[in-house]
Amino acid sequence: MIGCRCPVCRSDDPRDKRTRSSIYLSMPEFKILVDTTPDLRHQALREDLDRAYAVLFTHPHADHLMGFDDLRRFCEMQGGPLPIYGSEATLAQIERTFPYAFNPAKKVPGYVHVIPHVITGPFELGGLEITPLPVPHGAVSTLGFLFSQAGRKLLVYLSDCAAVPDPIRELARGADVLIIDGLREKPHPTHLNVSGAVEAAQAIGAGQSFITHQTHEKSHVDRTQELPPGIGVAYDGMKFEFELH
């Protein structure tokens, strides 16, 4: 946190350097970015990303969107417009915020240029089945995502949610990995707190679960110690490998 001198913000543990929440899926032939945080440029440089063939958006809050203009570099490297996916409301908000990206007269290179795709149900990208998981997040709804392959639930990403409704728990049940919002200890009107995230994670019963979107309240080590077995804390640069068939 800017200007904060707390032990977590001053920690030397790289897992305490928390940038804004985002994930990246890398398959041999296809690369998917989820959200364009204000930290996207730094995150992409840190992880040496040079491709993003599609971008999914969970919701249009500033902490998940404001790195959007940095997609221009991916357009430039790939030589054309970039397909983006989100709910109708999310795509409309992105177009209001970055109208030039939707204007075919503003061409690659030089400008970010996107082709919007409204998510209305499950779809496929790069050999993955992607199931949208709508979850409440205050005034807006967030889309979580279930990524499956050949019928196997690999990863569930539930960022920014105040609750996980039963039908969503059912869809997520039995995934290999769950990443779920768990902002802080105190309840929050639009985010799950840590105990809410633990309750939902235990109900979903993924092989491994990790809480994300953490504030600077607790260090990685301290937070990890108080979580039950099978639930950990996500950190910047954390990687999972999945076997694809």
Interface with Zn ion, residue 63, by CB under 5 A? yes
Give min distance, CB of 97 to Zn ion, in A. 15
Of 24-32, 66-74, 158-166, 170-178, which segment contacts Zn ion by CB under 5 A? 158-166
Measured from the CB atom, the residue of 153 and 191 that comes closer to Zn ion is 191
Could you please report the per-residue DSSP string of the chain? -TT--STTTT---GGG------EEEE-SS-EEEE---TTHHHHHHHTT----SEEE-S---HHHHTTGGGHHHHHHHHTS-EEEEE-HHHHHHHHHH-GGGG-TTSPTTTS--EEEEE--S-EEETTEEEEEEEEEETTEEEEEEEEEETTEEEEEEE-S-S---HHHHHHHTT-SEEEEE---SS--SSS--HHHHHHHHHHHT-SEEEEES--SSS-HHHHHHHSPTTEEE--TT--------
Q: Shortest approach of Zn ion to residue 52 CB, angstroms?
A: 20
CB of 210 to Zn ion, least distance (A): 16
- For Zn ion, which residue of 18, 61, 113, 220 counts as binding (CB under 5 A)? 61
Report the amino acid identity of residue 28.
Answer: P
Q: Examine residue 89 and tell whether it contacts Zn ion (CB under 5 A).
A: no
Of the listed pieces 32-40, 156-164, 196-204, 219-227, which binds Zn ion according to CB under 5 A?
156-164
Q: Pick from 35, 39, 160, 236 the residue near Zn ion by CB under 5 A.
A: 160
Among residues 59 and 113, whose Cβ is nearest to Zn ion? 59
Site membership for Zn ion, residue 216 (CB under 5 A): yes
Q: Which is nearer to Zn ion, 149 or 212 (CB)?
A: 212
If binding is defined by CB under 5 A, does position 1 make contact with Zn ion? yes
- Shortest distance, CB of residue 105 to Zn ion, whole angstroms? 32
Mark the segment that binds Zn ion (CB under 5 A) among 59-67, 84-92, 94-102, 169-177.
Answer: 59-67
Q: Count residues near Zn ion (CB under 5 A).
A: 8
Query: Measured between alpha carbons, how far is residue 129 from residues 1, 146, 156, 172 in Å?
Result: 36, 8, 12, 13
- Assess 163 for contact with Zn ion (CB under 5 A): no
Of the candidates 180, 120, 175, 119, the one whose C-alpha atom is nearest the C-alpha of residue 149 is 175
Q: Which residues bind Zn ion (CB under 5 A)?
A: 1, 4, 6, 9, 61, 63, 160, 216
